Chain A
Amino acid sequence: MESNLITEDKQKNKLEKALEILKTMASKPSGLIGLTIVLFHVILALISPYIAPYDYKAISPNTMLLAPSAEHWFGTDSLGRDVFTRTILGGRTALTVTFFGSLIALLWGGLLGIFCGLVGGKIDDVVMRVVDAFLSIPWILAMLLIVSLLGTSTEVLIPALGFFYGKGIVRVARAATHDVIAKDFIVSARARGHSNMSIIWNEIIPNVRDAILVEGAMRWSWMLLGFSSLSFLGFGVSPPTPDWGLMISNARGLMSFAYWSVIAPIVGLSSLIIGINLTADAFAKALGIDRSTKAPV
Chain B
Amino acid sequence: MLLLILKRIGLGLITLFIVSLITFVGVEVLPGDACTTYLEREAYGAALDACIKRLGLDIPAYERYLDWASNVVRGDFGYSLSGEMPINEVLGPRVKNSLVLASVSILIGIPLAIVLGIITALWRDKLPDIMISTITIFSMTIPEFISATLLILIVAIWLGWLPGIVIIPSDATFYELLSNIILPVVAISMIMTAHMARMVRSSVIQVMASDYVQMAILKGVPYWKMVFRHVLPNALLPAINVVALTIAWLLGGVVVTEVVFNYPGLGRLVIESISNRDLPVVQALAIILASIYVGINLIADLMTLMLNPRLKSLQIRK
Give A contacts to B, CB under 8 Å. 129-130, 132-142, 144-146, 148-150, 221, 225-226, 228-229, 232-233, 235, 245, 248-249, 252, 255-256, 259, 262, 266, 269-270, 273-274, 277-278, 290, 292-297
Contacts and interface: CB of A to CB of B under 8 A. Distances in A.
A266 B146 contact: yes
Given A150-B31, A255-B149, A262-B153, A136 B15 contact: yes
A87 to B, nearest CB: 14
Given A137-B19, A141-B252, A150-B30, 13 more contacts: A136-B290, A140-B253, A141-B255, A141-B289, A142-B26, A150-B31, A229-B145, A232-B145, A248-B145, A270-B141, A274-B141, A277-B141, A293-B199
B19 A292 contact: no
The 5 A-B pairs at the shortest CB distance, nearest first, are namely: A295-B245, A133-B18, A136-B293, A136-B290, A292-B202
B145 A144 contact: no
A130 B11 CA distance: 11
Nearest to B20: A133
A142 B270 CA distance: 10
8 contacts: A133-B19, A136-B293, A141-B255, A142-B286, A150-B30, A248-B146, A266-B146, A273-B142
B286 A141 contact: yes
B157 interface: yes
A248 B19 contact: no
A103 B289 CA distance: 28
Contact of B22 (A133, A232, A235): A133
Given A233-B271, A296-B246, A266 B15 contact: no
Interface of B: 11, 14-16, 18-19, 22-23, 26, 30-32, 37, 137-138, 141-146, 149-150, 152-153, 157, 195, 198-199, 201-203, 206, 238, 241-243, 245-246, 248-249, 251-253, 255-256, 259-260, 270-271, 274-275, 277, 282, 285-286, 289-290, 293-294
Contacts of A255: 149, 152-153, 157
B141 A145 contact: no
Given A146-B30, A150-B30, A270-B142, A295 B242 contact: yes
Contact of A133 (B138, B282, B289, B290): B290
A221 B146 CA distance: 15
Among B137, B243, B274, find the residue whose CB has the most chain A CB atoms closer than 10 A: B274
Nearest to A230: B256
A256 to B, nearest CB: 5
A42 B187 CA distance: 30
B201 A233 contact: no
Given A133-B18, A136-B294, A296 B255 contact: no
A36 to B, nearest CB: 16
A132 B18 CA distance: 9
B266 to A, nearest CB: 10
Given A150-B31, A273-B143, A297-B245, A136 B19 contact: yes
B15 A133 contact: yes
A123 to B, nearest CB: 16
Contacts of B150: 266
A249 B260 CA distance: 9
Contacts of A228: 143, 145
A141 B206 CA distance: 36
B155 to A, nearest CB: 13
A196 B286 CA distance: 39
A193 B312 CA distance: 43
A265 to B, nearest CB: 9
A225 to B, nearest CB: 5
B293 A144 contact: no
A248, A270, A292, most chain B CB atoms within 10 A: A292
Given A139-B252, A149-B30, A255-B157, A294 B15 contact: no
Contacts of A148: 274-275, 277
Contacts of B137: 274, 277-278
A148 B15 CA distance: 26
B215 to A, nearest CB: 23
A274 B286 contact: no
Contact of B144 (A144, A229, A262): A229
B14 A296 contact: no
B142 A274 contact: yes
A256 B199 contact: no
Contacts of B243: 295
B263 to A, nearest CB: 14
A269 B146 contact: yes
Contacts of B256: 140, 229, 232-233
B30 A248 contact: no
Contacts of A256: 157
A149 B138 CA distance: 34
A145 B242 contact: no
A270 B243 CA distance: 24
A229 B242 CA distance: 24
Given A140-B270, A266-B149, A145 B26 contact: yes
A293 B146 contact: no
Given A149-B37, A266-B146, A140 B255 contact: yes
A247 to B, nearest CB: 11
B202 to A, nearest CB: 4
Contacts of A130: 18
Contacts of A270: 141-143, 146
B141 A296 contact: no
A144 B149 contact: no
B118 to A, nearest CB: 15
